[in-house]
């Protein structure tokens, strides 16, 4: 494949790519607010447009060959003095140059100060900022949830502690009641023993009188 054929094929591809990118850009929905969940999209990137421009203006790009094609349109064969390009080739080169210039005009509009490229560049900055804000919001929400979880755990611990204290109070009260009952029983036993002893002493005293 000749160099010219390669250039034609490349320009056709770049034109198709540019049209596709511009169509995708025009169909972009508004950016969601920072608090929304961001999802990956197939939106064009500034790097896509930069790649196209590089293949036109960069080293080895089409721009570096256009002047040579234009020059050859006016050149004559030094031997035959005929045009370097035949009629068919001249027509193809002329059409190619026209397509190239139209493409460059479109590209210039894309990269204009208020053009698609700057608009997309600003959009990417906003997207990046929104992603940061979204991540910060997620982090804050996670921290809040962890804080609430700790509070719930503490409340449960305190509730458990309160229940434990209640059980301890009940057990202490039961022990106190048992102590009181035991004390009452002890006093009753002492009183009974005292009465029995006094009764025994009276009986013994009565027997002593009978002997006399």
Domain ranges across the chain:
3-147
pLDDT at 26: 67
- Contact assessment for residue 34 and residue 122, using Cβ atoms and an 8 Å cutoff: no
Q: Please list, in sequence order, all residues whose beta carbon lies within 8 angstroms of the beta carbon of residue 167, skipping any fewer than 6 positions away.
A: none
pLDDT bracket for residue 40 (50, 70, 90): very low
Beta bridge partners of 89: none
Using the predicted structure, report yes or no on whether residue 189 has a pLDDT greater than 80. Answer: yes
Select from 87, 36, 93 the least CA-distant residue to 70. Answer: 93
- Provide the percentage of residues in the chain whose pLDDT is more than 90: 8
Q: According to the model, what pLDDT value does residue 38 have?
A: 42
State the Cα–Cα distance between residues 67 and 119, nearest whole angstrom: 32
Residues in the chain: 212
Average pLDDT across the chain, whole number: 80
* Arithmetic mean of pLDDT, 8-18: 85
């Amino acid at each position: 494949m000749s160099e010219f054929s390669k250039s034609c094929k490349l320009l056709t591809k770049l034109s198709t790519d540019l049209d596709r990118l511009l169509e995708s850009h025009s169909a972009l929905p508004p950016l969601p607010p920072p608090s929304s969940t961001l999802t990956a999209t197939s939106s064009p990137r500034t790097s896509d447009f930069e790649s196209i421009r590089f293949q036109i203006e960069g080293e080895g790009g089409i721009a570096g060959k256009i002047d040579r094609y234009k020059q050859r349109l006016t050149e004559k064969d030094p031997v035959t003095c005929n045009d370097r390009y035949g009629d068919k080739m001249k027509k193809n080169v002329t059409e190619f140059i026209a397509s190239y210039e139209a493409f460059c005009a479109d590209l210039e509009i894309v990269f204009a100060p208020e053009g698609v490229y700057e608009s997309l560049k600003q959009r990417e900055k906003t997207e990046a900022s929104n992603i940061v804000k979204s991540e910060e919001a997620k982090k804050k929400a996670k921290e809040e949830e962890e804080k609430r979880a700790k509070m719930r755990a503490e409340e449960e611990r305190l509730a458990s502690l309160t229940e434990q204290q209640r059980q301890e109070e009940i057990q202490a009260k039961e022990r106190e009641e048992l102590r009181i009952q035991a004390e009452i029983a002890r006093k009753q036993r002492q009183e009974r023993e005292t009465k029995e002893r006094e009764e025994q002493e009276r009986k013994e005293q009565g027997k002593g009188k009978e002997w006399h």
